[in-house]
């Protein structure tokens, strides 16, 4: 099964190129700063602790999203540019196996990083504030899914575009999605259907912000949610707040989105002359 060969190669490359080491060091350094924040934030207050958790998770989901793009955008494109693909593809291996193998390897790396940084964050926050979010595993899963969506997009672009171009486009779309999420929150706060539609459209096209809000929901304590809901629609304008879990149809849409992106990427890569 060549998919696993390529996946193993992708993980091995990240390890040999010291990507994993660099992320581990940076993540450890980031969490070592937590006690300092503790001095500013009253650890006894659950709401503040949950907001701190969300902010730290936001920082690491951002690192994960940007990292996913930077690693995935050159994955196919640079193999073609450097000639590595010329040596591998004439072997009895389908291009779809190369593509899926790379996707799998990158997905493993993303899941690994999300899990490790998520666990570190939860332990750090708990140590500093004695607070543990209601469902950290679900939150970590959504953060990982956000990275995987962005990685899939960058991988698709990588089948046709130069690493730099694909990376820039994927990052711009990521930020467009984020702005779309804020637009949705503002639309909901002011009950403006046009802005809501723009926000919903952006969440469907680029589901990264939707997934981020899925993660936020599982980081908020129940009493905080109840208080926020009682505060009414003005509260909905906060981009770091989610008042409900992601609906199942939207989750299915995201799964379909990833599958369609992979099918298009495969179609594109299979038809590319090298």
Partner 1 sequence: MEAADAASLAVHTQDLAKRYGKTVALSGLTMSVRRAEVFGFLGPNGAGKTTAVKLLVGLARATAGQAWVLGAPVGDLKTRRRLGYLPELFRYQGWMKATEILSLHCELAGLPRAGWKAEIAGALETVGLSERGDDRVEGFSKGMQQRLGLGVALLGRPELVLLDEPTSALDPVGRHDVREIIRKLKDRGTAVFLNSHLLSEVEQVCDRLAVVDRGRVIATGTMSQILGQDGAVRVRVTGLPPERRASLGAYGNLEDEGEWLTFRGLSQDRVPELVSDIVNQGGRVYAVEPRHETLEDRFLQLLKEQDS
Q: Which residues bind partner 1 (CB under 8 A)?
A: 2, 5, 9, 13, 16-17, 82-84, 86-94, 271, 273-274
Question: In the complex, what is the shortest distance from the CB of residue 90 to partner 1, in angstroms, rounded to a whole number?
Answer: 4
Q: Which is nearer to partner 1, 94 or 233 (CB)?
A: 94
Question: In the complex, what is the shortest distance from the CB of residue 68 to partner 1, in angstroms, rounded to a whole number?
Answer: 20
Question: In the complex, what is the shortest distance from the CB of residue 100 to partner 1, in angstroms, rounded to a whole number?
Answer: 15
Q: Which is nearer to partner 1, 145 or 265 (CB)?
A: 265
Q: Which is nearer to partner 1, 9 or 196 (CB)?
A: 9
Neighbours of 269 (CB within 10 A): 22
Structure tokens given for 145: 């899914």
Question: In the complex, what is the shortest distance from the CB of residue 89 to partner 1, in angstroms, rounded to a whole number?
Answer: 6
Structure tokens given for 132: 């543990």
Question: In the complex, what is the shortest distance from the CB of residue 94 to partner 1, in angstroms, rounded to a whole number?
Answer: 7
Q: Which is nearer to partner 1, 87 or 252 (CB)?
A: 87
Q: Which is nearer to partner 1, 33 or 271 (CB)?
A: 271
Question: In the complex, what is the shortest distance from the CB of residue 75 to partner 1, in angstroms, rounded to a whole number?
Answer: 12
Q: Rounded to an integer, what distance in angstroms lies between the CA atom of residue 31 and that of residue 264? A: 39
Q: Which is nearer to partner 1, 9 or 115 (CB)?
A: 9
């Amino acid at each position: 099964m060549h998919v696993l060969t390529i996946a193993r190669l992708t993980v091995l490359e990240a390890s040999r190129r010291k990507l994993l080491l660099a992320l581990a060091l940076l993540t450890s350094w980031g969490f070592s700063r937590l006690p300092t924040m503790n001095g500013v934030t009253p650890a006894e207050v659950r709401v503040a602790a949950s907001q701190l958790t969300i902010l730290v998770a936001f920082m690491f989901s951002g690192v994960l999203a940007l990292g996913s793009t930077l690693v995935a955008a050159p994955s196919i494109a640079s193999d073609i540019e450097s000639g590595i693909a010329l040596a591998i593809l004439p072997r009895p291996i389908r291009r779809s196996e190369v593509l899926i193998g790379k996707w799998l390897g990158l997905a493993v790396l993303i899941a690994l990083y999300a899990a490790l940084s998520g666990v570190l964050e939860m332990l750090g926050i708990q140590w500093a504030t004695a607070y543990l979010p209601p469902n950290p595993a679900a939150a970590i899963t959504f953060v990982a899914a956000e990275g995987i969506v962005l990685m899939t997009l960058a991988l698709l672009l990588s089948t046709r575009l130069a690493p730099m171009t694909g990376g820039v486009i994927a990052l711009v779309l990521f930020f467009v999605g984020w702005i779309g999420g804020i637009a949705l929150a503002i639309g909901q706060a002011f009950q403006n259907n046009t802005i809501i539609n723009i926000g919903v459209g952006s969440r469907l096209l680029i589901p990264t912000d939707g997934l981020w809000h899925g993660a936020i929901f599982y980081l908020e304590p129940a009493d905080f949610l109840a208080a926020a809901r009682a505060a009414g629609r003005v509260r909905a304008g906060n981009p770091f707040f989610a008042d409900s879990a992601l609906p199942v149809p939207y989750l299915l849409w995201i799964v379909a989105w990833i599958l369609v992106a992979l099918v298009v990427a495969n179609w594109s890569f299979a038809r590319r002359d090298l």
